[in-house]
Structures are given as structure tokens and as C-alpha cells.
Amino acid sequence: MEIKKYTFLPHGDERGQLVVVEENKDIPFDVKRVYYIYDTLADVTRGFHAHKCLEQVLICVHGSCKIHLDNGFETEEVLLDKPYEGLYISNDMWREMYDFSSDAVLLVLASQYYDEADYIRNYDEFLKFVRSKNS
């Protein structure tokens, strides 16, 4: 499995740091939706889904968390703990976010507006979906 991480250029001086993320320049899609997750307890796992079309870039802008990725054939765990790094997640990737630090803020940039029909929330259905695409 190829994991794509983007490193965004921090601009900083004695006043602090600034990171800019531009659609179709720093990430590979138009941003249609932005949301963030925070105040998540350390023992909580979120996600448990994939998407048919939507792509995402996840940035842990504060604190840290881990991402479990599964493409239907192999899995990988990714640590997000730098506010200038983004993790690209393609549309046909099962994702679970876990092990949130108490101060974690996970920012998500999404390529599509919310559409419940785009979600695959059942793991067995996800496996059928990715295997049918690869046959």
C-alpha cells in the first residue's frame, strides 16, 4: 500500500508559525468541505467507513492521533503528529482514527460535499466494493 503524506511549508518567525494549504496546489483536489474533530477521548475510535468517490487530506493541527488504513488487501497504521503534514486518503480506503491525544484537533479537507450515499459503513460491503473494482 502506498501512503501519501504531504508536507506543507511552514512560514514562521518570532511571531509564530503559519501553514498554508491551497486546493489543487498543495493537495490534489478542490476542497468542498472542511471539518475538524476534537475533544475525543483517548480510548475512542472514529471513522469505520470508506467512500465511493470522496477523497480526503487529514491534518492533525494540534496533538496527535493514529490512522488505520485498509485498501481491502493490506493495512497500515499512520501517526499524525505534525501540524504541517497531511495524510491523503483515497476514495476506496477504509479508515479508522484512534489513539487521540487529549489535545488533538484533526482537520479534514474533503473533495466532496456531504453525501450519505457515498459512504460505505459496512466492512464486508467495502471488501466487495474494492474487490469488484480490482477484478
pLDDT in tens, 69-117: 999 999 999 999 999 999 999 999 999 999 999 999 999 999 999 999 9
Sequence-distant contacts of 4-7: CB under 8 A, at least 24 apart:
4/87, 4/88, 5/78, 5/85, 5/86, 5/87, 5/88, 6/57, 6/85, 6/86, 6/87, 6/88, 7/84, 7/85
For residue 62, pLDDT beyond 80: yes
pLDDT of residue 30: 97
DSSP structural state of residue 1: -
Active site residue 49: yes
pLDDT at 134: 75
**Cα 53 from Cα 55, distance rounded (Å):** 7
Residue 44 confidence (pLDDT): 95
Q: pTM for the full model?
A: 0.93
Residue with cell 467507513: 49
pLDDT of residue 2: 78
Cell triple for 22: 491551497
- Which residue in the list 49, 51, 62, 68 is annotated as catalytic? 49
pLDDT value, residue 135: 72
How big is the CA angle at 101 (ends 103 and 44), to the nearest 5 degrees?
115
Give the alpha-carbon dihedral of 128, 46, 10, 25, to 10 degrees: 30
Per-residue model confidence as pLDDT tens digits over 3-55: 899 999 989 889 999 999 999 999 999 999 999 999 998 799 999 999 999 99
Dihedral in degrees, nearest 10, Cα atoms 50, 67, 98, 86:
-100
| Amino acid letter, residue 29 | F
Q: Is the pLDDT of residue 119 over 90?
A: yes
**Cα–chain center distance at 14:** 31
pLDDT at 14: 92
